[in-house]
Amino acid sequence: MVLAGVASIDACSAAAPSQGQDAATDTATPDASSPKGTDASTNTPMGASIVLVDQILDSTMLLADDAGAVVFDDVRVCVFDASNQPLTTYAMPDDAPMPFTNYPGVSRGRGADLGSFPVGAVTIDVFSAADLQADATWAQSRSSYTCAAIACAQGGTCRQFGSFDVTLAEGVNVLALGDDATSGHVKIAQAAFADVPFAGAPGELFGTVVNFSGWHDGNEVRALYGDWLNETGTPTTLADPLAPHSAASPQKIATLTTYDDLGLRFDEISGGQPFDHFGQSLDSIAFVSNPNVDPITFYAVRDNFVFALVGDPNDPTSVLQDDGRDVSFDGRGLHVVAIPYATPAFSSADP
């Protein structure tokens, strides 16, 4: 299922987004009269999780009110329930600084597991990570920048933000923020799938693949694991076809023995035959996803992974520069990001 919406700015409530669409069409109306609650109180059973992907490419597209533009290169999010009660105390992620920065967030072209949430309607408020950089909530001393305090219209600790209404399905919900060229705002796309708890042995890779990039949109695309550069060997088919904004339950991908020669490859199919390819090694995927750790450590978490094809297929920036380890790669070009995630938790109230 795909849900999409266009962000409202400085909104404390948002109109429901369109359902069953791949592109955003509805614009929410800002409403400063409905402030967020100050604490979370819900008996709704858990059973959903959120994996957030940031592929906002043009940070100037989402315009704020008279105060000016909001820069959404890197983001943090607050999640509220249907009663406007915060489900996240602080804007997420908040546990560690982003690579090459001293403040937390999701960098453009990367993703993060935000944890478990109740199944059903939620509101996702998106903030500029740079705008919250003084909020050092990954440290031992928490700040006053709670979600209840910053998700408001004006004054005090209020910060500008975009707001989306999303319905979380049971299982894993991959939410991708991206540009909506038709409206000049930001849209959110959703791919939900039933989770299968990780059951692999050490050294085994389990996961699923989703395509948010628009690469050869409208044509058949196949996702494979194997030789990422050439059509050699016998690759493992991960999705055939790989429908946009959809994902299957995770499966065993491989027993890891090498990180340079093997990886993910995407084939565009024309006339029943591969016509165009894009591939990236496991080593490069790990570096782009988290350059702070080596690939062995990155894949050894013994969690399932979401492998998301993201970025602008028309952007001239190549993720493959410097053997796929280009420190100057800014997340705009076409690439694969991998996000390990924990199995969605269920509350004790759930049977």
Name beta bridge partners: 192: 173
| Alpha helices in 33-186, H assignment, sequence order | 147-150
pTM: 0.85
Judged by average pLDDT, the poorest of 6-20, 57-71, 155-169, 188-202 is: 6-20
* pLDDT at residue 342 in the model: 93
The domains of the chain are located at 5-193, 204-341
Which residues, 6+ apart, have CB-to-CB distance to 148 below 8 Å? 36, 37, 38, 39, 86
Exposed, middle or buried: residue 339 (CB in 10 Å: 0-12, 13-18, 19+)? buried
Q: How far apart are CA 57 and CA 311, in angstroms?
A: 8
Please, what's the b/e burial string for 104-137 (b: 16 or more CB within 10 A of its CB; e: otherwise)? bbbbbbbbbbbbbbbbbebbbbbbbbbbbbebbb
3-class secondary-structure state, position 148? helix
Q: Provide the 8-state DSSP code for 333.
A: B
User: Per-residue pLDDT tens for 24-62?
Assistant: 333 332 233 333 333 334 444 569 999 999 999 876 544
- What CATH number does the domain located at 204-341 have? 2.60.40
Encode pLDDT of 113-163 as tens digits. Answer: 999 999 999 999 999 998 888 776 555 556 778 899 888 877 778 888 888
pLDDT tens string 231-249: 788 999 999 999 888 899 9
State the Cα–Cα distance between residues 79 and 117, nearest whole angstrom. Answer: 9
Whole-angstrom distance, CA of residue 150 vs CA of residue 132: 9
Tokens read off for 324:
């796929």
- Please tell me the number of Cα atoms within 13 Å of 71 on its side-chain side: 8
Q: Supply the pLDDT for residue 60.
A: 56
Whole-angstrom Cα distance, residue 19 to residue 22? 9
The amino acid occupying position 58 is D
